[in-house]
Chains A and B, each alone.
Chain A
C-alpha cells in the first residue's frame, strides 16, 4: 500500500514538473534589441506549403536587407522575426500569439493561406496590431477587420478575371466550370458563374473535385458532353496540372482559362508544352523585366541570391515591406497610426502591382492575363483586368 500511495503523488508531481519545465524553457525566446524595430512574419517555412512559403520568406529577407542598407526604418534597423505556421490553423494561431506576446511588434505579416488567417483574425482584433496578408479568400475581407490589409488580388477578383477573359476576351458562349471543392474553388465558381451569365454567355456545367483527387476525368467528360467550348478552371498548382494533362489525354481540345496556381514555375514545369497550348492563365502580377528597370533589378537580385525565379505570390510581400518602410518612416512604430497610414495608401507602385487601399482593406485591384508561347512553357502577357 505504501508504495502505491507514493505512486499517485509522484504521478502528480511529475505532471506538474513537466508542465512547468515546458513553460520556462521557451520564455524570453523572441526579443528585439534596442535600435531596431522588430516586426513579425507568419511563414509556412516547413510542411507541405513550404514552396510558396519559401518565396515569401526569401522576398522578405531581401526586402529587410535592402531596407536596412538604405538606412532602415524610422532611423532604426528593421528586423523581421519569422515564425513557422506549417499547414495547420492552430499552429498559425499559436505562432501569431507567440510573436505578438513575446515580441509585441507594431506590425505583422500574416500567412498567405486564407483559413490560417481566418483562424488568426479574432486574435488580430484582440491584439490590435496592423497586418498585411496574401490569402485570397473573400471570407476574410468581408469581415472588414480594420487591422488587416490584403496585398494581392482577392479570389473574387480572380474569378471575375477568369470569367471576363473567357467571355469578353476569348468570345466564348458555352462555358464549363471545374473547381476545387473548398473555400477557394467554391465561391470562385459561384462568382465566375454570375459574371459569365452577366456577360450574356451560358454556363453549361459546374463540376467539383476534391483537393486530394488525382483523376478528374469524369468531371471533364461531363463538361465536354455538355457542349462546353471553353473551360474555366479554378484550381491550385498540381491539381490544375493534372486537369491539363487529362484534357490532352482525353482529346478535349478547347481553350482553358485557368487560375494563378498553375501559372507559377513549379506547376508549369509539371505540364508539357503541348498540354499548355490552349491555356490562358491569370497571375497576380506581370512580373517581368520588360515592365521596367525596378522590376528587372528585383528579379535579377532575387535570382542571383536565391537561385530561383521569384513568383508574384511571394513578391507581393517584398512590396508590402517597402510600404511598411514608407509608413514607419512617416509615423514611427505606433500601431494606430500605422493602421491609418495603411488605410490611406494610394497608388504605391511596387514590383508586383500598384497598391491602393479600399474600404475592405484590399490593396490590389487588378491582375494580369497570359497565354503561353507555343512550344514552350513561357507566359506571354495579354492584358490586365481590373475590378
Chain B
C-alpha cells in the first residue's frame, strides 16, 4: 500500500517518464489536450495523497485549492500584469497559506466532520468566486489569461505545453517521493496509523496534519495555476465540489497511499469519459456504477489488480516448474 525505498521502481518510473517524452508524437491533436488534463489532475492527486493517503485526512476541498491556485495565478497575470513565471509560484505559495489558515482550526476535526468542514470550504469557495464579481469575475470567470512563454518561444500549443506539464509532474513526483521518505512523510503516516500513539505530543500531531494539508494544497495550487495558463480561462464551474469528489475517486481508484497510484488513477479517470463517449446519456450511469464496483471489489485500487494478476502469473510459473 505504501511505497518503501525501492531505487529500482524509482528507476523504472523514471524510464516511463522519459518514454512519455515521445508520446506527443503519437497522439492526435485532441488526445494531447486530454493527456494534459490528466497530467494536471495527477499533480493535484499526488497532493491529495499527502493529506488523505498518508495522513488519513478526509478532505473534500482539493478542487477548492485547485481553484485557489487557478484564480490567484489568473488574477496576478491579468489585472496585475505579472508574468506567469512569477504568478504560478505565487499561486502555489498562496494556496499553501490559505490551507494553513483554514487548516489551523479545521484540522482539529476528524472523520466525516472533517469531510463536511472541507466540503463547506469548497462550497464557500464557489459561492465567493461566483459572487465576487469585481475580483474573481463571477460566473463569467476570468479570461485573457496569458499562456506560459519562453523568450521568443510561446508554449501556447497543447503539444508544447505537454512538456511543461510533464516537467512539472516529474518534479512533483520526485519531491513527493523525497517527502514521503523524509521524516515528515514518515510522521504523516504515523499520524494516520496511530494517532493516539504519536498523540503524546499533541501539538506535533496538529503540526503534521497541517503540513500534510498544506502540501496537498500546494500541489493543488500548482495544478490549478498550470490549468489556468493552459485554458486561458477560469470559471467557478471547474472547481466545484464534484471535482473534489473526482480527485478523491482518482486516488482511491489508483490506490491510496501510493504516488504511482495517484498518477495512474488520475490518468485512468480522466480518460474514462473519452472511452465511453458513445454511451451518450447513459455514460454517467456506467461511470458511477463502474466506480462503485471498483470500490467494492478492488478496495486497494486498480493497481492492486496488477499485483493480483502478477501473483497469479507468478503462482502459475512456479507450478510449471
Contacts and interface: CB of A to CB of B under 8 A. Distances in A.
A69 interface: no
Interface stretch (B76-84, B111-119, B194-202, B303-311): B303-311
A47 B273 CA distance: 14
A97 to B, nearest CB: 5
Q: Count chain B CB atoms within 10 A of each CB in A45, A121, A122, A186 and give the residue with the most.
A: A122
Interface centre among B19, B30, B37, B277, by most A CB within 10 Å?
Answer: B30
Contact of B9 (A12, A16, A126): A12
A10 B310 contact: yes
B274 interface: yes
B40 to A, nearest CB: 11
Interface string A93-105: 1100110111000
B35 A23 contact: yes
Interface stretch (B89-97, B101-109, B185-193, B260-268): B260-268
B260 A18 contact: no
A89 interface: yes
Contact of B31 (A3, A4, A11, A27): A27
Given A4-B6, A8-B12, A182-B130, A121 B264 contact: no
A326 interface: no
Interface string B230-253: 011101011000000000000000
A41 B8 CA distance: 49
B275 interface: yes
Contacts of B277: 26, 84
Nearest to A101: B29
Given A46-B283, A139-B140, A181 B233 contact: no
A8 B235 contact: no
B307 A7 contact: yes
B264 A122 contact: no
B6 A5 contact: yes
B281 interface: yes
A3 B235 contact: no
Contacts of A7: 9, 306-307, 310
A360 B15 CA distance: 51
Interface string A18-51: 1110110111100000000000000001110010
Contacts of B38: 19
Interface in A41-64: 45-47, 50
Interface string A256-299: 00000000000000000000000000000000000000000000
B235 A19 contact: no
Interface string A126-145: 10000000000101000100
B235 A119 contact: yes
A115 B139 CA distance: 7
B272 to A, nearest CB: 8
A97 B264 contact: no
B81 to A, nearest CB: 18
Nearest to A10: B306
Given A3-B311, A11-B261, A88-B238, 12 more contacts: A7-B9, A8-B6, A12-B9, A19-B38, A22-B271, A22-B274, A25-B274, A47-B281, A93-B231, A94-B33, A97-B30, A118-B140
Interface of A: 3-16, 18-20, 22-23, 25-28, 45-47, 50, 84, 88-91, 93-94, 97-98, 100-102, 114-115, 118-119, 121-122, 126, 137, 139, 143, 181-183, 186
Interface of B: 3-4, 6, 8-10, 12-13, 15-16, 19-20, 23, 26-31, 33-35, 37-38, 130-131, 133, 138-141, 143, 156-157, 231-233, 235, 237-238, 258, 260-261, 263-264, 267-268, 271, 273-275, 277, 280-281, 283, 302-303, 306-307, 310-311, 314
